């Protein structure tokens, strides 16, 4: 399973609709294998949709997420003037995932 962050940019002063995660999930096609969508409306520099999906690889996951978000922008109320900035798997520092020395 992949988590892809889709950064969205709206017009000045715009806020993501409260139902954007649910609406986006409802637009997912079966072959896209989307499991869950979560909205982070206060993320900076742009609001983010976190899309959890099954895919055969990183590129496929990012491409499916980008297409889903473009579909949401075309379809969902309140997103007509928004645009997709990027859709990519967030990079994690593996050292940040390891326990601190001496911590069990």
The string of pLDDT tens digits covering residues 61-85 is 999 999 999 999 999 989 989 999 9
At 21 the pLDDT is 97
Mapping DSSP to helix (H, G, I), strand (E, B) and coil, where does residue 42 land?
coil
Give the position of tokens 């099954």: 54
29 and 35 Cβ atoms separated by less than 8 Å: no
Structure tokens that stand for 6 in this block = 């889709």
Domain of residue 22, residue span: 17-90
At 56 the pLDDT is 96
Q: How confident is the model at residue 27 (pLDDT cuts 50, 70, 90)?
A: very high
User: Does a structural domain hold residue 97?
Assistant: no
Q: Phi, psi (5° rounding) for residue 8?
A: -120, 145
Q: In total, how many domains does the chain have?
A: 1
Structure tokens that stand for 24 in this block = 């986006």
Q: Is 95's pLDDT higher than 70? A: no
User: Does a structural domain hold residue 100?
Assistant: no
User: Does a structural domain hold residue 98?
Assistant: no
Q: How confident is the model at residue 90 (pLDDT cuts 50, 70, 90)?
A: confident
At 104 the pLDDT is 55
Provide the H-helix boundaries in the chain. Answer: 20-27, 58-75, 94-97
């Amino acid at each position: 399973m992949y988590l892809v962050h889709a950064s969205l940019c709206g017009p000045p002063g715009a806020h993501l609709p409260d139902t954007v995660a649910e609406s986006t999930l409802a637009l997912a096609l079966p072959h896209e294998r989307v499991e869950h969508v979560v909205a982070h409306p206060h993320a900076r520099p742009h609001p983010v949709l976190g899309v959890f999906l099954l895919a055969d690889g990183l590129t496929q996951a990012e491409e499916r997420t980008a297409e889903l978000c473009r579909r949401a922008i075309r379809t969902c109320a309140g997103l007509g003037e928004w645009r997709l900035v990027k859709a990519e798997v967030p990079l994690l520092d593996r050292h940040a995932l390891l326990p601190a020395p001496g911590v069990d």
